Structure 1
Amino acid sequence: MIANEQAEQWLLRFQQGDKEALEHLYLHFKPMLYSFLYRYTQDRDMSIEIVQDTFVRLQTYRQHYQPGRVMVRTYLFRIAYRLLLDRINRPTTRWREPCRQRPSWPRCT
């Protein structure tokens, strides 16, 4: 495992536009994030998607990271955990199934 200082340097370089630094972050943290997420989901595809979404979110909000305030690992895991909760709490389309059985319901039209 790399030291937080190295990860922080990569993130600071990425904030300045260095795409190679993002690749270093991704290659280093991807296995840890995947393992963490898989423990919760037990779903390979969902875990991979959330890891990818974590790094998309990092790209979108990279300027929000404040060095020295929180470790890079903690920052990434927090993003991944919030995305996981969003995915788990996302409403499903199962509520529409009764419409097939009872087409007279107002929401079925």
Structure 2
Amino acid sequence: MQNTPKTDATLVKNYINGDEYALETLVYKHKQKVYSFIYSKVYDRDVAEDIFQDTFIKVIRTLKAGSYNEEGKFLPWVMRIAHNLVIDFFRKNSRMPKFDNAGEFSIFSVLSDSSLNAEKSIIKEQVESDVRRLVDELPDDQKEVLLMRMYNDMSFKEISERTGVSINTALGRMRYALINLRKIIEKHNIVLTN
């Protein structure tokens, strides 16, 4: 009985109760899967290593704060944290200027702008096509306000003038559009980010 491998849930519980070794076991158990996932997105060992470390720093903080509630779903939870950190990495770096560090190692020399933009546009296109499909299910008046606001970046004052309704009505339609979008997402069991 002593040698049977412990489940993730048991290891998490043991770690929360002060067994530091339990976390080491969890990291060792899932390192390959989590690291491979991160590396497959960034194609850079140093960056992947950093994001991997950040992922487990976040895991430790959440566990120590007592706010972990993914009972029995430890690995999917860790993968979700890693996925979000990868997206944050691309968001941050695609906006940063390209530095020319004379002779020094620079992350930007490894990750060319085109690979950053490719990743960013793939994520953006996927989310946009998912969102467009959902928006199509909204009633016309709500869809109209949502599209004007989100895609044309119009103010509620402009929307009210264009549609001939009061600002409050435009705000109300936007509010209902968002409420309905949430319902549609739940109805279809859609996950917009993994």
Distance 1:19 1:11 in 2: 10
Summarize deviations over 1:15-60 as a string: whole Å, max 9, x none: 2221101100111111111111111111111111111111101111
2:35 — aligned with what?
34
CA distance in 1, matches of 2:70, 2:14: 12
The structure whose RCO (Cα within 8 Å, separation 6+) is larger is: 1
| Secondary structure at the counterpart of residue 93 of structure 1 | coil
Unaligned stretches of 5+ in structure 2?
100-194
Partner residue, 1:93: 97
Work out the percentage of aligned pairs sharing the same amino acid.
27
Q: Partner of 1:56: helix, strand, or coil?
A: helix
Match of 1:22 in 2: 23
Q: Which amino acid aligns with 2:67?
A: H
Amino acid at match of 1:66: N
Superposed displacement of residue 92, structure 1: 1.3
Contact persistence 1:8–1:67 (CA under 8 A): no
Determine if contact 2:39/2:48 at 8 Å carries over to the other structure. Answer: yes
TM-score, length basis structure 2 = 0.43
**In structure 2, what is the Cα distance between the partners aligned to 1:41 and 1:75?**
20
Q: Is the 8 A contact 2:55 2:78 kept in 1?
A: yes
- Which stretches in structure 1 are left out of the alignment for 5+ residues? 96-109
Distance (Å, rounded) in 1 between the aligned partners of 2:18 and 2:89: 29
RMSD: 2.0
Q: Distance in 2 between matches of 1:81 and 1:40?
A: 9
Output one character per residue of 1:70-100: Cα deviation in whole Å (capped at 9) or x when no partner. 51001100111111111110131349xxxxx
Q: Is the 8 A contact 2:70 2:77 kept in 1?
A: no
Partner of 2:187: none
Q: Tell me: CA distance 1:18–1:45, structure 2 relative to 1, closer, same or farther (3 Å).
A: same
TM-score, length basis structure 1: 0.75
* Divergent runs of 4+, >6 A: none
The one-letter amino acid paired with 1:93 is P
Per-residue deviation at 1:12? 1.3
